[in-house]
Amino acid sequence: MDQSILSSRAVLGMYYARLENPMNAGWIAGVSNLFGSDQASEQYPFLGQMPRMREWLGGRQAKGLRSNSLTIANKHYEATVEIALRDLRRDKTPQLQARMAEFADEGDAHWGTLLSALILAGPSTACYDGQYFFDTDHSEGDSGTQDNDIQVDISAVPGAGSDNTPSFPNAAQMQAAIVKGVAQILSFKDDRGRPMNSNAKRFLVTVPVGLYMPAIASLSAINLAALQQNINPVQAAGLSIDVQMMPELTWTDSFAVWRTDSPIKGLIRQNETNPMVKMKDERSEFAFDNDAIQIGIDAWRGADYGLWQRACYVTMV
């Protein structure tokens, strides 16, 4: 084989080599469930909460399930990269390896793009119950009215300076706002009036770029004593709170808190096909006409809102 020419097969090998070492996007699995699909769309019935065990008195007492549902359609997505044959001939291996690594990561990164768009639109887009995903008046069955779109007045936080604003909070103010968001999630009840998140231990805070450093600073300062001001000490013990910066978020004074350790999560990813690779190699008519090769990936997938009770939108005022 002529080693002076880097072949399209070698470039494709770079792509598959990267797939064996996928990018780290742990936050995606934390805020969303992944479900397979084998048709154009899938229906997700949100049937309320299952009944809990009770003392057997007077026979069984069957409880009906509430019927809310959501339909998610699969859409067709693609990405295609073009590589000049002269670059293969000149053996730009290091550069091509870097570019193909980015290309291979796109399959996972695309989930992040879809979920970030959902998070950004949450205050103005309806979810399965007909209310905005982040809203002030969710209600199901015996839950009462519940609010996962809250405001936190940070001006009264001790240590606030005259130069601190909702878009430029200090660590103490950001800490207070995050704790309020966590406490709000812990307060949510199901359609039978029972606490939904009483066993929650892990949370994620998704922030825009401008709030990332205040969030990092606040979490380094959060301790049990601070949490006890807002959350029952038994619940506070062992809580873990992480931060994820999202450049896609255009918010300036707000962020979202998510419970990440629940079986059913706040967002849904639906996968009909994994990214499939297709190529027009150096022997193709395209290469003859354009002196280049093309490598493309495409997938059928979708994403939408899951349980609003797993998230809280916090605006600092």
pLDDT digits (tens, 9 = 90+) for 262-286: 999 999 999 999 888 888 998 999 9
Position 171 in a domain: yes
Query: How wide is the angle at C-alpha 288 spanned by C-alphas 287 and 289, nearest 5°?
Result: 90
Q: How confident is the model at residue 141 (pLDDT cuts 50, 70, 90)?
A: confident
Count up the domains in the chain and report the number. Answer: 2
Position 78 in a domain: yes
pTM given for the model: 0.83
Task: Report DSSP state, residue 52.
Answer: P
Report pLDDT for 224: 46
Report pLDDT for 235: 46
Report pLDDT for 232: 46
20 and 82 assigned to the same domain: yes
User: In which domain, by residue range, is 98 found?
Assistant: 8-120+276-302
147 and 250 assigned to the same domain: yes
Position 281 in a domain: yes
Tokens read off for 94: 């290091």
Report pLDDT for 95: 79
294 and 228 assigned to the same domain: no
Task: With a cut of 90, say whether residue 75 has pLDDT above it.
Answer: yes
Across the range 129-151, mean pLDDT stands at 95
CATH of the domain at 14: 3.30.2400
Per-residue pLDDT tens over the stretch 78-133: 989 898 988 888 877 777 888 888 887 887 789 999 999 999 999 999 999 999 99
Per-residue pLDDT tens over the stretch 190-211: 888 999 998 999 999 999 999 9
188 and 283 assigned to the same domain: no
Identify the weakest region by mean pLDDT among 39-43, 234-238, 256-260, 266-270: 234-238
Task: With a cut of 90, say whether residue 213 has pLDDT above it.
Answer: yes
Report pLDDT for 21: 63
Q: How confident is the model at residue 61 (pLDDT cuts 50, 70, 90)?
A: low
Q: Which residues contact 301 (CB under 8 A, 6 or more apart)?
A: 37, 74, 75, 77, 110, 111, 114, 269, 270, 271, 272, 273
Q: Look at the alpha carbons of 273, 33, 190, 50 in this order and tell me if their dihedral is positive or negative.
A: positive
Across the range 213-232, mean pLDDT stands at 67
Position 297 in a domain: yes
Q: What is the largest CA-CA distance in the chain?
A: 84
Report pLDDT for 103: 81
The percent of residues above 70 in pLDDT, for the chain, comes to 84
Residue owning tokens 């066993």: 199
Query: How wide is the angle at C-alpha 273 spanned by C-alphas 287 and 246, nearest 5°?
Result: 90
92 and 206 assigned to the same domain: no
